[in-house]
Amino acid sequence: MNFKLNKSFLNANEAKYIIFFDFDETYFPHDCTDELLKNLNELEEYLHLLVQKQFLKIGWVTGSDLNQIAHKMERANISYSPHFIASNLGTEVYNVSEKGDLLPNKEWENRLKKVNFSSDTVKELESELYNVYNIELVEQTQLGQKGYKWNYYYFEKSKTKSQYDLKIISHVAKLNGLGININRCNPKAGDPKGAFDVDFIPLNTGKKEIVKFMIKYYQVPLANTIAFGDSGNDVEMLKTVQYGYLLGNATEEAKGLHDNVTISHYSLGILEVLKKLFPNP
């Protein structure tokens, strides 16, 4: 694959711990103020130390694609790539070499080859929702649809109708053998107000499944697994690890679904937890 990022953190063969980060508004702060970027730099240096001392693996699990990630890394002047990236909402997995080369994870690719997922199925479902249930989904064309992830917005009309519509969307997706992610949009991450993300993905993919897969891939004990996020689509990931935390800047929707929330925001919230877990790195 002809795609290259910054050098990764030191890549030891052994793995004792693993940390999963959501990217947008967790690892990467969209505002990119001087203070936020200074804190991000401090986090990177701390992770660099942890990786060397604790045999720790770092991964980004994100809805963004590789081009978006590369652009945001440049914007925030991020020094290190993680050891792996699960992009497009955990439908693609890449290992990152120390030189920054992206290598598709063959085990995950083989798993995806067996799934029943097609653009035709998604388009038929979209039509059924509109024609039968009068539910309109709007394609997120700014992202472009990917092979294993189709993104839509659902715009809220009223709370009662939205609750009903979202249940119908989930039910119809299940009947069609599709995985689905629904969460309230976060305008801070560039989404519109008053909307929900509706993402159709293959069954047994997504953030939770990535966590389970990578824990097994690196053979790390569950007791040594950590994750950080900020939105509703991170909650399942956080509940799958031993230490799962929302950051203080998380959405209200997410905070209503998960109890572990840091006091501090963004990088400082991450450091708040890691310095308790690793007091002597």
18-26: average pLDDT: 98
* Residue with more model confidence, 189 or 18: 18
- Per-residue pLDDT, 144: 56
Q: Which amino acid is at 269?
A: G
- Per-residue pLDDT, 30: 96
* Residue with more model confidence, 28 or 143: 28
Nearest-angstrom CA–CA distance, 269 and 263: 6
Q: Are residues 109 and 213 in the same domain?
A: yes
On average, the pLDDT of the chain sits at 94
Name the nearest CA neighbour of 58 among 191, 264, 183, 220: 220
Residue 4: inside a domain, yes or no? no
Residue 131: inside a domain, yes or no? yes
Q: Where in the sequence is the domain holding 155, given as residue range(s)? A: 119-202
Residue 83: inside a domain, yes or no? yes
Residue 28 backbone phi and psi in degrees, to 5 = -105, 115
**Any idea what the CATH number is for the domain that residue 139 is in?**
3.30.70.1410
Nearest-angstrom CA–CA distance, 130 and 62: 29
Instruction: Kindly name the residue from 22, 165, 230, 234 that is annotated as catalytic.
Output: 22
Name the nearest CA neighbour of 5 among 75, 81, 64, 76: 81
Q: Are residues 109 and 135 in the same domain?
A: no
Q: Is the pLDDT of residue 68 over 60?
A: yes
Q: Are residues 103 and 184 in the same domain?
A: no
pLDDT tens figures, 100-146: 999 999 999 999 988 889 989 999 999 999 999 999 999 987 555 66
Number of domains making up the chain: 2
Nearest-angstrom CA–CA distance, 278 and 168: 45
pTM: 0.94
- Per-residue pLDDT, 188: 86
Nearest-angstrom CA–CA distance, 141 and 181: 17
Q: Are residues 125 and 188 in the same domain?
A: yes
43-58: average pLDDT: 96
Q: Are residues 231 and 269 in the same domain?
A: yes
Q: Are residues 180 and 223 in the same domain?
A: no
Catalytic status, residue 22: yes
- Per-residue pLDDT, 281: 74
Nearest-angstrom CA–CA distance, 14 and 28: 27
CB 138 within 8 A of CB 155: yes
Q: Are residues 28 and 102 in the same domain?
A: yes
Residue 7: inside a domain, yes or no? no
- Per-residue pLDDT band for 69 (boundaries 50, 70, 90) equals very high
CB 58 within 8 A of CB 226: no
